Structure 1
Amino acid sequence: MPRMSPQSRRLSEALAAAAAQVNAELDLLLQAGECPERRVHDAMRYATLDGGKRLRPFLVMQSASLFNVSPSSALRVAAALEMVHCYSLVHDDLPCMDDDDLRRGRPTCHKKFDEATALLAGDGLLTRAFEVLAGEATHCDPAVRCQLVGELAHAAGGQGMVGGQMVDLQAASLDMDVNDITRLQQMKTGRLISYGCEAGAILGKAASSLRLALKNYAREIGLAFQIADDILDVEGDAKQVGKALRKDAEAGKATFVSLLGIDRARAQAKMLADQACRHLEPFGDKADLLRSTALYIVERRT
């Protein structure tokens, strides 16, 4: 096993620590007592408290740290974002969408429970996320809370993740080039990643120039993340990745790898990671973990 560099070790430890904090916060925010609707709450917890990389919450917490935001505020926003991400996975896995049986190495929510419960669990996670963002405990300034709610709604809705999923469902029947795939993935994957980076700036009432720098960083790592996913779909091991692979090729969908080839796709991901790091120059050493995250995204095996 290759020896980890100090930077990689520091990032690994920071990711693990953030994931533990987010898991604990999700556990608190998704509590449910004995009641007739307990089944849907159990499904919501199953869909969220199952590990995962917790990359999006980590981005919230790291971007917030650049502006000395209260850790408790950042953690609530991080948990809310993860709820939205997990809701999207629950719905994406349904038979009417991607029809997947495995997620993060476990049966998907609809396989563990049933389709109707999984649908409601996704709905419950989405609405709970906005309830958390709107709560006074998230930030003392109502204007900040409103902006957090509005930006997440935009990122997750028809002009963001939901719209991207719609295009993805039609992708096999469309003649898509690299620009089309880039737009699709910026919507489906990139918008929530971008929100994770911008949320810290919103919480910290940062200057527009600094918020823009984080938005530009997020744009690059969002695309790099998807290219890395496409490479893993071709080269990865299903047991290690924790989900079914090579489904895009079987469905005849164009991907960055099918259009560029493995070597060019890998080079493109590395170039995007390098560009992302340059956008962090205004933050100096405080953004070192975000720089390491950009490199981790293109080198990950899960």
Structure 2
Amino acid sequence: MKVPKAGALVAVVGLALTASGCGGDSGPKGNLSIGIKFDQPGVGLREQGGTFSGFDVDVSTYIAKQLGYKPEQIEFKRVDSSDRELLLQYNEVKFVAASYSINDKRKEKVDFAGPYFLAHQDLLVRADDTTITKAEDLNNKKLCSVTGSTSAENVKKTLAPKASVLELDGYSECVVALQDGLVDALTTDNSILAGYAAQKENAGKFKLVGLSLSNENYGIGVKKGNKDLQGKINAALRKMVQDGAWEAAVKKNFGPANYKNEPAPPITTGS
């Protein structure tokens, strides 16, 4: 084994100190890729100009900070309901915060942190519609939902078996179809529906029926087996509730729609 000369040894030590971040930024290097929805006002929305807004965006940003990342290191990537598991499995994103309801089928493919929000499935109809006041009224009517979502399946299976279902790629497309009279209702979580109803361009056009057809516990999806990240995210979520940031994010994103949210749910996944 060759022993380096004194000058070389000093250089090696100096290089090691620099690499270890001694005296500098000790945070994680590189970007943190996070999967969110791009088309859900109040939840996850890509604004004109490339900025992002919504409750899931605020939760993700808070988690990223607790993990040691700076805002400029966050890279938001679009996820659709049908490809959330794939993006995690192929390491396209580190975690997914995209109105991602925890259920047993999804837990076979990914692990969840949380839950961090409790929503309820509801119906969005045109403001002048007086024919739909309950889910059973959807029999012989047209219902819109998003490909990969379980919402329409829940309604058609148990409540309105004669309803016809139109599946589109995104909720924005469903809102347009509802406005144009191509469908009679849109179903998904009330938090998402409230976000659309609260948009300035939709003022007076739509209304929520006000149902609680299911309990939707939103979780943060991580790659199956990544217990370390799951635990760190759970710790961040607990802190967000404790320091008031969670409640502030709820009021900021859902308050304008007069949305009555549930309290922060207890975390039941991982540790």
If the length of structure 2 is used for normalisation, what is the TM-score? 0.28
If the length of structure 1 is used for normalisation, what is the TM-score? 0.26
Greater relative contact order, per chain length (Cα 8 Å cut-off, separation 6+) = 2
Query: Which structure shows the bigger proportion of residues in helix conformation?
Result: 1
Query: Which structure shows the bigger proportion of residues in strand conformation?
Result: 2
